[in-house]
Structure formats: structure tokens, C-alpha cells
Amino acid sequence: MKVDVLLGLQWGDEGKGKVVDVLTPKYDVVARFQGGPNAGHTLEFEGQKYILRSIPSGIFQGDKVNIIGNGVVLDPALFKAEAEALEASGHNLKDRLHISKKAHLILPTHRILDLAYEAAKGAAKVGTTGKGIGPTYTDKVSRNGVRVGDILHGFEEKYSSAKAKHEQLLKSMNYEYDLTELEKAWFEGIEYLKQFQFVDSEHEINNLLNAGKSVLCEGAQGTMLDIDFGSYPFVTSSNTVCAGACTGLGVAPNKIGEVYGIFKAYCTRVGAGPFPTELFDKVGDEICTLGHEFGSVTGRKRRCGWIDLVALKYSIMINGVTKLIMMKSDVLDMFDSIKACVAYQINGEEINYFPYDINENVEPVYVELSGWQTDMTKMHSEDEFPEEFNAYLSFLEEQLGVSVKFVSVGPDREQTVERYTEE
């Protein structure tokens, strides 16, 4: 058996959580391979809305194994709050959620360091959520991290050593802080974590594959936030691309099967960083309002713009995407015309590839298409799609070279239309 990978192709917030929930019935296992609680996956069904930060989105399907992989960084306090909220709504986690021993722990001092580093950058700040993600991955790479498995082996000593290093750094920055409440909640989270199964996830996943089980790998954030291939330095601290599933779960490259790439019918971005198609007008505000474009974890307003096909083609190439999934089509339902960026103009030169650096000198080159001006939220089949929307889909497929397999026409899991594309 091979693993299938599902990931975002833009700057995050594409709607991955909903799609994982829709696809999960086809799989035995859902595994999260990178990221931390700085990104939330929102799922809506049966009149309820759920926001997942660290727990895989397959948790709502009762008979599935859900794995938090070694590539994830985990905050015990935030995990406890997230898990308890799910349990309170009737979802039993302890029997079906496994946590990799090699996943790194976000310490209270990591969160303080995150805030201190961001404050020190002043106008050059990246727009971090302050959840401690960057400092935790920094410690991981510099071989100073504390892992989930350490909870069972010399934990107090390892925690104290890491905390002392962080406090020395904070002292050198003259940054004032109070750890009391953060640390109290964190140690309560550690005790809560002990109720779950800690596993060698690389062995577990490969054993499941050898036993013929199907596995869906779930990514967080989006390709354009990848530490290597995103719009650096305005990126996250992990590999959000398909290759991250290999390193974040211990899966060999030849075990990758389908790669589902998710994108919105337009573009959004949270925080600082370049965004060539960003709109600063009434249209941008309208997209934001209609799409409810506010961060599921941070509540921050997302920047909105037209779809960027230059960046999308780049993401498809990097990830080896085999099937596309378009989200939030319904947000554009009432626009009389739709724009799509097909090239960039930089210093008078037009290019159709994603360059080393995108900055304020990049001007998007647009193609304008007719809008469909039809409410699609009640549609259940592609046979109901308006002609103009089908033309938009055909244009995208021609530009991107990959079929759009699923179309989302609303936030509920039932508002997902599977298309009869050629395999």
C-alpha cells in the first residue's frame, strides 16, 4: 500500500480540515506530519463547528486511527484544551489517537521567546502567532529539544536544562515575562498527555501499510509557507510540502501515492509577507466578508486577492500534485467578473515562473473571466454547475495541467461535489 498526501497549495487556510474529513471514510488511518497549534483546521457538519490545531482531522470518524507524527511540534497545554473540548462534545479520543514519541514539545519558554524575537524585529516582524513554533523547531535542529518520549525518560532534568537555556537568552534580551500561569497549564497538559498512547510512529505507519491499511497524510499551513520553498523569510518553520510527509512520518518516497492539492478559488494570506495579487479595494473587502476570512486560531483578518496561477503552478510542481481540490467557490458566486493572475511583471519584464524573490515590484498580469452570478451552495452535482463556472474550471485545468477532482460550494462536509474527471 501507498500513503496519499493532502496539503495546501497557497499561503495556508485553504480548507484542508474539511477535505480530510470528507475523504477520511476512504482511509483507515489519518496522520498529521508537520506544524503545530499556530494553524487551525475548521470543520463544520451536523450544525456544529470544530477547530482542530494539533489533532488530525480524521478524529471525527470513529473507527479510524489518528496519528500525530514526529514532524509535529506539540504544546501540552493547548493540546489538553483542544482534546477536552472534543471529548465534551462526545468524541472519544484516547482509543484512537496516537502520538509519536519523536514529536517535539513546545515549552512555556518557547512561547515567551517567540514573542521576544518578534518584538526585537520591529518593523521587520514576520507576523508569528506567538505559539512558540519557531523556537521549538530551532531547538529541534540545534539538538536541544525536548520530545514527547522524554516524558517517560529523565523528563525533569531535560525540561530544566532547556528552560535554563531559554531564560539565559531572555535575560540577554532584557525581556520581561512571567511564566507562572503558562507553566502551571503546561504541566497539567503533560499529565493529561500521559493518558494517550505514545508510539514509534514510523514503525506503526509502515506496519499498517504492510498490513494493507490505507493512510492519508495531513499537512498544515500551505506550500507557499514552506521553510525552503515558500516566500522566505515570511514562512513557517517546517516543510509543508509533500516531502515533509516522508520526514514527518518516516515514510519512504516510493510509498507516496496520490497527492491532493487544495486551493481556494481566490487567494488569502495572514500576517506579513509578499502577496502579488492582494486587493486593497472594495472587492478585496467583499471577498473577506463573504469568505469569513478570519484566522480560526488567531482571529486575525486575512488579506485577500485574486487567484495566483503562477504560484499555484509552482506549488503543483514542488509537490507532484495528482488531483486538485478547489475550495470556497461559493464566495465568488455573485461577482460579475473574475480575475486570475497568469504571469508577473517585474521591472518591465513579464515572467510566468515563481522567482527567487517576490516583493513590491511584482505586478500581476491578469486574465479576466465572466462570473457565474449563481448561488451554488445547494448544488450536489457538477451537472448543476452554471456554464460560466465550468468555463472557469476548464481555464484553471488548462493553465495548471491537473484535473480539479473536488469542488467545495460551502463550509459543510455535505457541500462538496466530486467531479467526473478523466483519470
Catalytic annotation, residues? 13, 41
DSSP class per residue in 261-322 = EEEESSEEE-SSS--TTB--SHHHHHHHHHTT-B-TTT-PBPEEE-EEHHHHHHHHHHHT--
With a CB cutoff of 8 Å and minimum separation 6, the contacts of 254 are none
Amino acid occupying residue 110: H
Q: For residue 269, what is its C-alpha cell? A: 494570506
- DSSP conformation class of 107: P
- Given a contact cutoff of 8 angstroms between Cβ atoms, the answer to whether 267 and 277 are in contact is yes
Q: Phi first, then psi: give them for residue 327, nearest 5 degrees.
A: -105, 160
Given the C-alpha cell 488579506, which residue does it identify? Answer: 303
Helix H or strand E encompassing 41: strand 41-45
> CA angle at residue 15 from 383 to 355, to 5 degrees?
100
Say what the alpha-carbon torsion angle 107, 108, 114, 120 is, to the nearest 10 degrees: -130
With a CB cutoff of 8 Å and minimum separation 6, the contacts of 262 are 6, 7, 8, 9, 14, 15, 16, 19, 324, 325, 327
- How many helices and strands (H and E) does the chain possess? 11, 20
Please give the Cα distance from 216 to 208 (Å, whole number).
12
Between the alpha carbon of residue 374 and those of residues 109, 371, 378, the distances in Å are 51, 9, 11
| Strands lying side by side in the sheet with 256-264 | 197-199, 97-100, 65-68, 29-32, 215-218, 3-8, 256-264, 323-327, 404-408, 416-418
Helix H or strand E encompassing 218: strand 215-218
